[in-house]
Chains A and B, each alone.
Chain A
Amino acid sequence: MARVGRILLRSPMGVIGGALLLLCLGLVLFGPALAPYDPTRFHPAERLQGPSGAFWMGTDQFGRDILSRVLAGARATILFGVIATALGTALGTTIGLASGFAGGRIDEVVMRFNDSLLAIPGLLKALLIVTVLGPSTTNAMLAVAIATAPSMARIARSVTLSVRARDYVAAAIARGEGAAFIMAREMLPNVIAPVIVESTIRVAFAIMTGATLSFLGMGAQPPASDWGLMIAEARNFMHRNPWMVVWPGLSIAMVAIAFNLFGDALRDALNPRSGHGR
């Protein structure tokens, strides 16, 4: 772990990504407390204004302070993406690893089923699931997690197939180790790198899918300051006060970049063949 940390600190991408992630963490922990105004309070006389001394990021159609809303929405928005992706990744990796390790007919059946799920677009899948579960933020999170799982399973399984042919796996089997042990200790560390890279990209996707679900009334509900919902609401006022879209948009972009940079750096650090730190 210390080795991975050292490698990360040596790569500029890792440093920037890590710093941005720390910022995200700060937002998750302290964002709502830092808001200068109540995020749902109206200032009717100051609707749709650009940034000013009183409202650093401007105001929206109800005269609500955009900065306060962005800060207040950080926790819900970031945690939504992280938790949904983590759940989806755990589920997908387990399925992919087990299926790839088992091989043969089981692998065939599981993967064909998985492929059929992959054929349905992610958003549609999430919509279907949340329609069955009923609209709420928690259910939207579960829906995004389940929608993420099939592609993670695909990636985990493809790596598993190449790893499974390795000598150390054959050796572990020859030693008579149990399947669970082999998967968890011998194979998972070698499977995890591409899975992590993919999941970091997926965090941004999860936030956007969550936002889309909110937009369709299947996730966060107004007047929540969920970033995606803020963008959805701002669209009708985009031409009159572009800042309404810019700030939550930049915030989502920041989170996405943070996870991508950090994920890339992490992949390099975790990859035994990347030549670092030996």
Chain B
Amino acid sequence: MEQFITSWLGSTPAFAIPLALASMGLVLCERAGVLNMGAEGYMALGAMTAAVLTLTLGNPAIGIIAAVIAGAALALIFGFAVVIMRCEQILAGLATMAVGLGVAGVVGRPYVHKSFEGLQPLDIPLLDQIPLLGRLLFNQDILVYLTVLIGFGLWFLLERTRAGLKIRAVGEDPASADVAGVQVQLQQLMAITASGALCGLAGAYLSVASSSVWVDNMIAGRGWIALALVVFARWDPLKALAGAFLFGAIEALLPRLQAIGVPAPIYLMNMLPYLFTIAVLLVAAWSGSKKGVEPAALGKPYVRQDRH
């Protein structure tokens, strides 16, 4: 039993980190008042970019950095559409998602199923032998620690700095922020780009760190779960981090149960994360407290009053 829990917790980050990075990125974006539905596509683009570059250059670090840049670049297109051209955010998000999925599929086609040497866990001797939590805390790759750091960093940025104050103000009341001298469009563009970069990183983690291979449909709905996590987390990056680990733990349970031979109905088990997502959204809607925390200007393009 102890062995089961140790390895279950140890494999949780592999499932939790992509969700955590993507949902924290989305939290940042939504706090600036922009709803980006396309996380799935950004993650796919990041996963493919990281895998292909690691395969061809043999260096996972370059692959990860390239994935971050690719996610940010796709997000910039989205940002141009919704912030500058004031397009409908849902449609623009879905469109860039399709672009991300499409590019990942086409460019990644020759590299499918070719395994490579990805990011390795840090080797911390002795400590990883601690029962139960040892493997979770001390046998992980650098991105896991970085993700936790990003979570706290984002929280500090949003809640404790002037830059974060501006982002929040833009998401709540862009007209007042504008009058106060905040450059609304610039804030939103920065938040969107950073959010795309985090989604790209999330994808890179999937291909380079947790599976060391690129396959089609690698994201498998994680972008959508991340979107639901944002609501679950009440637009708080730390809660998004915690929520992602909760989801990750549920997902990680399935292969562990199979490994010890529990006769679980596989398709039902695979539905679990999605059922959990629906349950979370229902509870969030039911408790009715969504209104109190949802950025008031979320999804509404800001048009400055005419100035003659």
A and B: real partners?
no
B interface residues with partner A (beta carbon < 8 Å): none
A interface residues with partner B (beta carbon < 8 Å): none
